[in-house]
Amino acid sequence: MTNKIHKNLLPRIFAGGREKVLVYANDLSFCAKKLKDKGYSVKKSYPYLNAVYCECSGVQISDLNFDVSVNFVMPDAEVFAMTELTREIVGIPSFTENGFTGKGVTVAVIDTGISSHLDLFSPFKRLVCFKDFVNGKDYYYDDNGHGTFVCGVLCGNGFCSGGRYRGMAPDCNLIVLKALDYKGVASTSDILDAVEWIIENKNLYNIKVVNMSFGSDPLGINDPLSKAAEALWRQGITVVASAGNSGSGYNTIKSPGINPYIITVGASNHHNSIRIKNHSVASFSSRGSGENYIFKPDCVAPGVDIISLGTDKIYVTKSGTSVSAPVVAGMVALIIQRFPQIPPDTVKAIIKNYCEKLSGDIYAEGSGEINFN
């Protein structure tokens, strides 16, 4: 047996039943036709991954190992899990049951870019604008993957999983501003340029929410990132930022999360349980400090072992407060859909009001874990 078959599939070859797998090949159309001709149940093709999604028996999986047109075979089960759990934890069903999915609300994401993932572009494209402040390209792309992952948490529609694995606001409009490079690093000037662009175009695109899943060491009262985030807030735009991954010590909140106006989000660990009493603040999540008057974060949201969109795989797993921020940004979009004229200060008050305490340490969790159940 060669290494074409992922190790998690090997025990299933002899277990009977049928499995859903991703078959990767150099020549996608040739491989897809060949599989169909051989009786495989081909469900979808993913051209950007050179992969075919199909359902097959254990014997058929074994046969793929010796097919020269096949590069490797992956199970889909190992990546489908935590996005759905996150939606349950924070109470997304209470919104969707009443028809609130973020429709008509525009969210701007400042990050590493966006890839043409089917969960964001099918059956229709939610991306209404892309602007590149790093390389000046006039087409959308993501040479790091972080931005695509964040967008998936925010508004992926679960197209590749039949709608089951969705982000928080799957019908919102999306603007992506690439200000972080292929290493996930940005210059302050690129972030400031992106913020300026948002302010100049907020009315044109009706931008209501900005997600900032990045951070740097605070530079004091005149910190430029903090001031930029506050400028957006004063323009009537709700800003959501990650707290940082420098915990568990105090006084470790990153900028722009230090800004007292915006919504700063730390990460919680759900420990594979929907029940809040089993959750805790993630050890890596940055903490504030009363000593320095940084009463942050404002809340925490799931940020450990979260599944979202990949660029080289359909779904991948990540942890961090940059994962938690778009969870809250998505919920903000749902609130704004319900109350279109609501100001940022009221949005923040609602978010903090719908939180449940975990440890009671306000410098670790703020008002607690967001919970609209």
Burial class (CB in 10 A: 0-12, 13-18, 19+), 18: middle
Whole-number Å distance between alpha carbons of 123 and 160: 11
Helix 188-205 to helix 224-234 angle, to the nearest 10 degrees? 10
Tokens 């929907």 correspond to: 274
In three-state form (DSSP H/G/I as H, E/B as E, the rest C), the secondary structure along 341-368 is CCCHHHHHHHHHHCEECCCCCHHHHCCC
Active-site position among 255, 268, 285, 322? 322
For the chain, the maximum distance between any two Cα atoms, rounded to a whole number of angstroms, is: 69
Pairwise CA distance, residues 196 & 232, whole Å: 9
Q: Is 27 a catalytic residue?
A: no
- Region of 24 please: left (phi>0), alpha (psi -120 to 50) or beta: beta
Q: Dihedral of CA 90/126/304/77: which sign?
A: positive
Judge whether 111 counts as a catalytic residue. yes
- 317/314 Cα distance (integer angstroms): 11
Asked whether the beta carbons of 206 and 125 are under 8 A apart, the reply is: no
**Residue 322 designated active-site:** yes
Catalytic residue among 117, 146, 270, 279: 146
Tokens of 48: 């950007």
Helix orientation angle between 344-353 and 321-338, rounded to the nearest 10 degrees: 110
Query: Which single residue is written with the structure tokens 């096949």?
Result: 70
From 111, 119, 143, 298, active-site residue:
111
Which residue numbers are catalytic? 111, 146, 322
